[in-house]
Amino acid sequence: MPFPHYGQPRYRAVADELRRRIETGTIRPGTLLPAESILTAEFRVSRGTIRQAIAVLRNEHLVTTEHGRGTYANACRHASGPGAELEARERHVSADPELAALFAVEVGTVLLEHESVTRTNGTVGLVVRTYQLLQAEQ
């Protein structure tokens, strides 16, 4: 079984298969993934390889791991259908006094605002807004 890996690493192949199961609903959102020991037996790879594969999915925010509990499948957010919402947008806003002072411009000067929303399990966890001058020299 320990084949040399030409081209694709094994942990990536495992990650691809697990991702497929989550996105197709074979592993449903909110449910636990099989334990590392189970996955080790199924894929015939070492525990480290399984953990590496899960780390890939965690980095993609597709799963969440809890110490002593297990790894949960999150709601996948890559639906490209009609219900897909925009998580980021840009718009022009007027500088409030604080922003005006920071940028050394007059209050009301138009700034470019970029807003991005990150959700965890469907609920908003963090909102990030960036502001910059329109004619950015950098």
Residues forming contacts to a copy of itself in the complex (CB under 8 A) are 99, 102-104, 117, 120, 123-133, 136-138
Separation of alpha carbons 24 and 15, rounded Å: 14
When asked if residue 129 is in the footprint of DNA (CB under 7 A), the reply is no
Listing DSSP states for 50-70 in one string gives HHHHHHHHHHTTSEEEETTTE
User: How many residues contact DNA, by CB under 7 A?
Assistant: 29
CA-CA distance, 42 to 115, in Å (whole number)?
Answer: 43
Binder among 20, 47, 89, 114 for DNA (CB under 7 A): 47
**Interface with DNA in residues 5-24 (CB under 7 A):** 5-6, 9-12
The CA distance from 15 to 57, in Å, is 7
Among candidates 54, 47, 53, which has minimal Cα distance to 73?
A: 54
Site for DNA in 26-45 (CB under 7 A): 33, 35-38, 44-45
Instruction: State the DSSP code for 8.
Output: S
Position 67 contacts DNA (CB under 7 A): yes
Q: Which residues bind DNA (CB under 7 A)?
A: 1-2, 4-6, 9-12, 33, 35-38, 44-49, 51-52, 65-71
